[in-house]
Every structure is written in structure tokens, then in C-alpha cells.
Amino acid sequence: MASPMRSLFTDPDRYLQSFRLFLKNSTEHQCIQEFMERQLPAVVESIGNGKSAINILSVGGGAGEIDLLILSKVQARYPGVAINNHVIEPSADQIFKYKENVAATSNLENVKFTWHEETAYEYESRMNEEKKSEKWDFIHMIQMLYYVKDVSATIRYFHSLLEEQAKLLIIVVSGTSGWETLWKKYWSSFPSDDLCCCVSSADIKRILDSAGLKCQLHELPSHMDITSCFIEGNKDGEMLLDFLTETCEFSKTASPELKYQVMEELRKPECSQERDGKVLFNNNMSVIVIEP
């Protein structure tokens, strides 16, 4: 009999709800923001040397909150220099929010924004069809490589678009995170979906090593409070379980055996730690900075 389980991506509204709950319960955004504040200035130190304009490509820019923080650091390093900021983002809703965020942000007079409502693969295909090969001074891909069909090919393609002093910055979950443990053991038990793959910094490091590409790795400690997942019938807990397993209504559709195994796994030290009566899931991330 076919499993009643279905991918969370088949219900975009529930996915967005669970994603917002994940952000609310985790320190993800704070960790990324802290990295951008403290360490990004060194990353962008030489990307615009001798240039009259700096070209930046945001792959999977979402609603632009992190993009705008990145732009502020580039502006601080190169005051007054023109910046062409191109955004690849498949969601029309996210682009709309991005434009709202731009409208509400001051000091962007020297930044020109161009949005492309398409996936990374669609962008690559369009460039190839149009026989274009635009070069970039800074490309960033933040928490988006889970949504490409061929991670290795995607990295190779965008790396090929780097200028001489440019950088490619990737953020994904760390190979030491609870995600890596959960995925390795249970990914095959969750409903398969072409829209998503499990990829961590360990996988990316292997891809870069085999391609002979140099990189710097920065670990960002992060956690997510999943205490509510262990309270039977708790709506937030059920939604977070959906996000963790990428399964729509996991609590209701998973077999009792699978649900028991996953709940047990989530409590193990490889996935979470218990502190002050809370279960904190290891949401560590990695920042990978790749040279041309």
C-alpha cells in the first residue's frame, strides 16, 4: 500500500508557515547576521579594487534581508562606488517582499537592483541560450543549495562566473549539525521529492576538493528549540516536525514505528542537547568562501 506521507513542498502554505516557525525558534538569522557584521568585511575586502562598479549576484535571495546587510558591508568598504545587484529568486511573493524591503531601506542610491524570477538552473539555461557569460565580483548562495537538482554542477557553473578577485560565498547546514545525522539515517524513509536534497558542508567540501577549488570554512554555532515537538498534540511542535522531516503532517501520516524512531533520534546527543528543561536541536551552519 502506498504511504500516506507526502512532501512538505506539496503544500506551499504549510511549508512557509513551518519555515517561519523554524526561524522564530532558531538562532539561524542571528548567527548569519553576526557573521555578516563581523567577518564579511574581510571577505569583500578586495572584490572591488580598481573597479568603477561592483557586480553582485544573489542566488536565491529570498526577501532580501541578508542581501541588504551584505550590500551595506560592500558600501562601507567601497563608499560611493556603483553596485549592480542582481537577484535570482523563483518566488514572486519573495521578490515582492524584497522590493518592499528595498523601498524601506535608506542609503541605496548607488545600488541598482535587477530581479530575475527564476531558479538557478533556469538562469543558467537562459544565459546559455542567449550565449551570455556575465562575470561577477561577488556571488552568494545562502541556504539555497538544497533546492537544486545537481549541487556539484550548480557550484561549478557559478564559480565559472567569478572575476579575478571575486568570491563565491555559500551557506549551508554544517556537517556536524543534527540535520546531517537525521538525514543520513532517515532521508530514505521520508517522502521523496525532486524539489529538495540533503546537502551539508561536508558534501560541499568533498565537491570542492575533487574539483581542486580552494576555500575557507567558517562554522556558525546555532540551535533550534524543538521542545514543543515532544508535547503530544502541540500545533507548533507538529509544524516543526514537518519542517525537520520535510513531510506534510508527519505526526499524523508517519507510521507509529517511524515516528517513534525519529522522536528518539531527535533526543540523542548527535542531534540535540537538553538544557534548562528545553530540547535544543543542533542547527549549526557553515560558511564556505571560494576563490576564483
pLDDT of residue 67: 97
Buried b (16+ CB within 10 A) or exposed e, 126-146: eeeeeeeeeebbbbbbbbbbb
What's the rounded Cα separation, in Å, for the pair 46 and 78? 10
Q: At 20, phi and psi to the nearest 5? A: -65, -35
- Identify the bridge partners of residue 272 per DSSP, sorted by sequence position: 281
For the chain, domains (ranges, CATH) are 6-290 (3.40.50.150)
pLDDT of residue 3: 62
Any binding-site annotation on 28? yes
Instruction: Sort 54 into a burial class: Cβ within 10 Å, 0-12 / 13-18 / 19+.
Output: buried
pLDDT of residue 99: 98
What's the rounded Cα separation, in Å, for the pair 112 and 143? 24
Picking from 87, 292, 289, 88, the residue whose alpha carbon sits closest to that of residue 204 is 289
DSSP states of 139-202 as a string?
EEEES-GGG-S-HHHHHHHHHTTEEEEEEEEEEEE-TTSHHHHHHHHHGGGSPP-TT-----HH
230's CB contacts (< 8 A; 6+ apart) are 237, 263, 267, 279
Kind plus residue range of the DSSP H or E element containing 57:
strand 53-59
What's the rounded Cα separation, in Å, for the pair 118 and 195? 14
pLDDT of residue 1: 41
Per residue of the chain (292 residues), what is the pLDDT tens digit? 446 888 888 888 898 899 889 999 999 999 999 999 999 999 999 999 999 999 999 999 999 999 999 999 999 999 999 999 999 999 998 999 999 999 999 999 999 999 999 999 999 999 999 988 799 999 999 999 988 889 999 999 999 999 999 999 999 999 999 999 998 899 888 886 655 678 999 999 999 999 999 999 999 999 999 999 999 999 999 999 999 999 999 999 999 999 999 999 999 999 999 999 999 999 999 999 999 8
What's the rounded Cα separation, in Å, for the pair 57 and 72? 15
What's the rounded Cα separation, in Å, for the pair 171 and 144? 8
